[in-house]
């Protein structure tokens, strides 16, 4: 018997002697049937001195029948006791926060100055490939996506379905939100998304390779709104500020992170961005909790199926025996005739 085998309701087996108690306590079942009285019945009573009385035929079961029926009863009780295989307690991921990624997809993210496996690729393609891995590791967080350029839009609202988030990430490309970089709009749209949800812990990852070009809402004003809403912002600057074609406002990104209690990271290449994602994982670790809900596999149908099978076999053998008896009786009647 496996070590993880358990019976949920052992008390059910106290009912095992119940059929014997019923047999001993309750009277036998009496079935009325019609009788045939002979013309000489009264004369026979006078001759023998007997008095007519009511009677009944009590059917006697064979030892074989009793054994089979008791086995059936034991199997039914075994089924009712709920036998099961119980697994080890599992560590369950606790949904503890909303984690939002706001990514810059302005035209500058189309620059081919990053390398993957020795090949030059667009900044966005490199960032997106690593974002897939990062999102998949955040099992337990409710993830959301915002993409921004000249405007900001919600690509994925907060959801625990990380597969859907990854799919929606695949569908985004450079230029879909305009050619300029408006960091202030991205943060403001993020605050709006966070306000619509009830989970209190709010974390945001802001990725950009440019300088804010907006005038409607400044990045630091938007960051102040995020601070009032208790949103923690980690900022990531994409590209090397000393490199060609990189126009990165590191000072503003640092101020946004410091104002909201987050941290600024500078990603010059794919390796450094991977390291940054690992650092963010350490700063915002997934929370696990052990639950008493252990995986169980119910086995009640095995003894129940065996009980039904025995009943069917018993009915078959009784029918067969009755058929043989009837055949013999008919044979005797034919011989006497």
Nearest to 105 by CA among 188, 186, 181, 187: 181
Residues 145 and 174 in one domain: yes
Whether the CB-CB separation of 171 and 133 falls below 8 Å is answered with no
Residues 260, 190 share a domain: yes
Q: Are residues 127 and 49 in the same domain?
A: no
Alpha-carbon distance values, 301 to 2, 80, 83, 324 (Å): 18, 10, 9, 34
Shared domain for 235 and 180, answered yes or no, is yes
According to the model, what pLDDT value does residue 336 have?
A: 46
CA 322 to chain centre: 54
Same domain for 273 and 147: yes
Look at the chain and report how many structural domains it folds into: 2
Residue 260 lies in domain: 92-290
Do 35 and 136 fall into the same domain?
no
pTM score, whole prediction: 0.60
Q: Over its length of 337 residues, how does the chain's per-residue pLDDT go in tens digits?
A: 666 788 888 999 999 988 888 878 876 666 666 665 666 767 777 777 777 666 555 556 678 888 888 899 999 999 999 889 887 776 666 666 789 999 999 998 998 888 877 788 898 998 998 899 899 888 878 899 999 999 999 999 999 899 999 999 999 999 999 989 999 999 999 999 998 887 778 999 999 988 898 778 899 999 999 999 999 999 999 987 777 767 788 999 999 999 999 999 998 888 888 899 889 888 888 766 655 567 788 898 899 999 999 989 888 888 888 888 777 766 655 554 4
Listed in sequence order, the residues at least 6 apart from 128 whose beta carbon sits closer than 8 Å to its beta carbon are 169, 170, 172
Statement to judge: residues 74 and 141 lie in one domain? no
How does DSSP assign 47-116, residue by residue?
HH--------PPPPPPHHHHHHHHHHHHHHHHHHT-EEEE-PPPEEEP---EEEEEEE-SGGGG---EEE
- The CATH number of whichever domain residue 228 belongs to comes to 3.40.50.410
């Amino acid at each position: 018997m496996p070590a993880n085998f358990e019976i949920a309701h052992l008390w059910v087996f106290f009912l095992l002697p119940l059929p014997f108690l019923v047999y001993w306590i309750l009277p036998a079942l009496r079935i009325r049937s019609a009788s045939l009285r002979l013309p000489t019945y009264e004369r026979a009573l006078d001759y023998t001195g007997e008095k007519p009385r009511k009677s009944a035929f009590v059917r006697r079961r064979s030892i074989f029948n009793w054994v089979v029926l008791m086995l059936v009863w034991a199997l039914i009780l075994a089924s009712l006791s709920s036998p099961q295989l119980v697994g080890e307690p599992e560590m369950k991921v606790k949904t503890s926060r909303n984690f939002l990624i706001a990514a810059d997809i302005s035209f500058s993210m189309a620059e081919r100055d990053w390398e993957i496996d020795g090949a030059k690729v667009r900044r966005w393609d490199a960032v997106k490939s690593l974002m897939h891995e990062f999102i998949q590791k955040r099992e337990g967080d409710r993830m959301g996506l915002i993409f921004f350029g000249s405007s900001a839009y919600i690509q994925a609202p907060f959801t625990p379905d990380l597969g859907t988030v990854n799919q929606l990430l695949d569908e985004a490309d450079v230029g879909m939100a305009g050619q300029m970089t408006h960091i202030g709009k991205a943060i403001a749209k993020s605050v709006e998304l966070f306000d619509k949800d009830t989970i209190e812990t709010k974390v945001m990852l802001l990725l950009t390779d440019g300088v804010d070009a907006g005038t409607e809402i400044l990045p630091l004003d938007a960051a102040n709104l995020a601070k009032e809403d208790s949103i923690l912002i980690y900022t990531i600057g994409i590209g090397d500020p000393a490199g060609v074609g990189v126009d990165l406002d590191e000072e503003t990104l640092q101020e946004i992170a410091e104002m909201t209690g987050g941290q600024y990271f500078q990603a010059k290449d794919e390796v450094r961005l991977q390291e940054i994602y690992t650092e963010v994982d350490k700063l915002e670790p997934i929370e696990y909790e052990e639950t008493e809900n252990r995986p169980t596999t119910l086995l009640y149908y095995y003894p129940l199926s065996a009980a039904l099978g025995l009943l069917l076999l018993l009915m078959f053998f009784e029918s067969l025996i009755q058929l043989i008896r009837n055949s013999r009786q008919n044979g005797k009647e034919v011989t006497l005739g």
